Amino acid sequence: MSGTPKRARASLTIRIGLVVLAALLGAVALLSVVNLAANGNYNHATRSLQENIKTSKQDNVDWDKLRVRQQQTDAQFDDAGEMRALLLPRLRESIDHNSRISNQLTKSIIEKTKTDKDDQSNSDTDADARRTDGSESKKDTKLTDAQREKVDELLKQNAQSTQSDSDANDAGSAAKQNTNKSSSQTKPW
C-alpha cells in the first residue's frame, strides 16, 4: 500500500466555497450577457429613433411608412427593457429616457397621419366637386335643343318599354299562378 500515494482532498469548506464562487461567476456571466444584449437592442433602437426624427423634420414625408417604422422602434425599446430587473441602472435609465422620446414621436406621427389623411380626403372631395361641376356645365353647353329633345324621346321610349316588360312579367307570373292553382286542384295528393 505504500506504493500508491494518496491524493489530498480539499476540505468541505473549501469545496463549498468553490461551488458558491462558481455560482456567482455564472450569475455575473448571465447578467453580462443580458446587459450586452439589451445594450445592443438599445443602440439599434436609438439609431432608428434618430433616423425617424430626421425624417419627420423633412418636407415631403410619407407619414404612414414613418408611423410603421416608429412603431417598430418602440418595439425595439420594449425588447431592450424587457429584463429591467437585471439591467444596470445607467442602461435602464437610458432605455427609459429614449423610450419616452420614442413614444412622444409616435404620438406626434399618428396625429400627423390623421391630419394628413383628413386633408387628403378634403382635397379629394374638393377635386371631385370641381370635376363634377365642370363636367356638368360642359355637358349642358354641348347639347343643342334638338339633341335634348332626342334624349327626352329616348328616355320616354325606355320608360314605356320598361313598363311594358313589367306588365308582361306580371301577366306571365299571374298565368303561372293560375296554372299552378288549377294543376294543384286536380292532383289527388
In a domain, 94, yes or no: yes
d(CA 152, CA 103): 63
27 pLDDT above the threshold of 60: yes
The pLDDT value recorded for residue 162 is 67
- How crowded is residue 92: how many other Cβ atoms within 10 Å of its Cβ? 19
Question: Rounded to two decimals, what is the model's pTM?
Answer: 0.55
The pLDDT value recorded for residue 137 is 46
126 pLDDT above the threshold of 70: no
In a domain, 48, yes or no: yes
39 pLDDT above the threshold of 70: yes
Max mean pLDDT among 24-28, 132-136, 152-156, 173-177 falls in 24-28
Q: What is the mean pLDDT of residues 70-85?
A: 92
90 pLDDT above the threshold of 80: yes
In a domain, 20, yes or no: no
Higher per-residue pLDDT: 144 or 166: 144
Higher per-residue pLDDT: 61 or 106: 106
DSSP track, the chain: -TTSPPPPPPPHHHHHHHHHHHHHHHHHHHHHHHHHHHHHHHHHHHHHHHHHHHHHTSSS--HHHHHHHHHHHHHHHHHHTTTGGGS-HHHHHHHHHHHHHHHHHHHHHHHHHHHHHHHHHHHHHHHHHHHHHHHHHHHHHH--HHHHHHHHHHHHHHHHHHHHHHHHHHHHHHHHHHHHHHHHHH---
The pLDDT value recorded for residue 5 is 72
Q: What is the mean pLDDT of residues 78-106?
A: 93
Question: Which residue range forms the structural domain that includes residue 82?
Answer: 39-117
In a domain, 69, yes or no: yes
In a domain, 133, yes or no: no
In a domain, 147, yes or no: no
What is the pLDDT confidence band of residue 130, given thresholds at 50, 70 and 90?
Answer: low
In a domain, 163, yes or no: no
Q: What is the domain count for the chain?
A: 1
In a domain, 74, yes or no: yes
